[in-house]
Amino acid sequence: MKNNTYKVSIIGASGYTGSELARILVNHPEVEIINITSESHKGKKFSDLHGQFSGILDLVLVSANEVDVAGLNVIFLALPHGVSMEFVKKWQDSGIKIIDLSGDFRLSTPEVYEDWYKKDHTFPEGFEQAVYGMPELHEESIRKASLVANPGCYPTASILGLAPLFQTGKVDPKGAIIDAKSGITGAGVKASNTTHFSNVNDNFKAYGIGNHRHTVEIQEQLSFLLKKSVYLQFTPHLLPVDRGILATAYMSIDGEMSQEKLDKMYQDFYRNKPFVRLRNQAPSIKEVRGSNYADIYPFWDDRTKRAIVVTAIDNLVKGAAGQAVHNMNLMLGMEESTGLNQVPMQP
């Protein structure tokens, strides 16, 4: 039924980004999943790990070492940071297009990486090739890239929410505050005290105050837009939900502003961007759940002279696997929204 023009491999089966990639790609009309890898579960079926795929995707998991890249068009790295860079290094010269969903190549330099990730980078050369894979900002570079660093989930919501304001240049480079809230899948599939049901359910808390590593990723991209160094406040919180990020951003504005001007600014910036929906009321995370949409609501508070921008995404789709497929579509020259027509699931 499929055209199956393109052949892809997913490196890393056990995490949520791996299973979300599979959920999207299995119905993508132009793609065939050739293999999925797992070191700890090789020999099992993918559907043994993820029961929801029973009868849908029963591929036997293989070791990453068994993957023959020769016949592939794209490799998705759904691995922890620190591990991913090894595979980029290994496959850099293979000519295959690589989309890395880890944090290993999102920042501008190995030095910044080492400063915020607190570990050495073993493939610093990769930074020159890597393109930051946010299609709304870097579409042309992504089309030509051989290595795409897929953005972090918080940065996706935060940058999309603030980009129009920073591009115009009329903002204080130190004035932005982003109060962000994420579902628990952002903490990964690994069982820990953080992810224990009874520590999350009916609960809510802030974490990483003042030092979360997504801060610098957001700062770098907004600096790129503003053409000045940006310093911002970023505070993540943990929601008792599976999926979804809601970022509430506050920005004092110098000079004239009104709701109409603000709306216009956002409409202009996001014209013809199929996955950004500008809303006229504050979106909820369930209105984007399971889909690749970013819903953005820019609000002008004339009493306080602040712009407040609320952005909602699904952290596993727009914030990870969906954005990765979007990048793949661009890299392979397909229509950008191919295979990304999932309707948000509410309720």
Q: How many residues bind a copy of itself (CB under 8 A)?
A: 82
CB-CB contact of 69 with 91 (8 Å): yes
CB-CB contact of 162 with 242 (8 Å): no
Q: How far is the CB of 32 from a copy of itself (least distance, A)?
A: 15
φ/ψ of 29, rounded to 5, equals: -70, -15
Binding positions for a copy of itself, 25-44, rule CB under 8 A: 26-27
Integer angstrom CA distances of residue 113 from 107, 155, 217: 6, 15, 10
CB-CB contact of 7 with 332 (8 Å): no
x/- contact string, 116-135, with a copy of itself (CB under 8 A)?
--------------------
Locate 153 and state its tokens: 């989930």
Q: Which of 153, 157, 265, 294 is catalytic?
A: 153
x/- contact string, 291-320, with a copy of itself (CB under 8 A)?
x-x-x---x-x-xx-x-x-x-x---x----
Of the pair 65, 201, the CB lying nearest a copy of itself is at 201
Binding positions for a copy of itself, 241-280, rule CB under 8 A: 241-244, 246, 248, 250, 277, 279
Of the pair 19, 97, the CB lying nearest a copy of itself is at 19
By CB under 8 A, is residue 229 in contact with a copy of itself? Answer: no
- Count of residues making up the chain: 347
The interface region with a copy of itself, picked from 91-99, 159-167, 196-204, 323-331 by CB under 8 A, is 196-204
By CB under 8 A, is residue 81 in contact with a copy of itself? Answer: no
* Bridge partners, residue 295, by sequence: 277, 312
- The residues, any chain, with a CB within 8 Å of residue 236's CB and separated by 6 or more, are 154, 180, 181, 182, 206, 207, 208, 212, 214
Figure out which of the listed residues 10, 18, 21, 53 binds a copy of itself, where binding follows CB under 8 A.
Answer: 53
Distance CA 61, CA 84 (A): 18
The interface region with a copy of itself, picked from 5-13, 73-81, 144-152, 188-196 by CB under 8 A, is 188-196
Locate 22 and state its tokens: 């599979």
* Catalytic (active site) residue 140: no
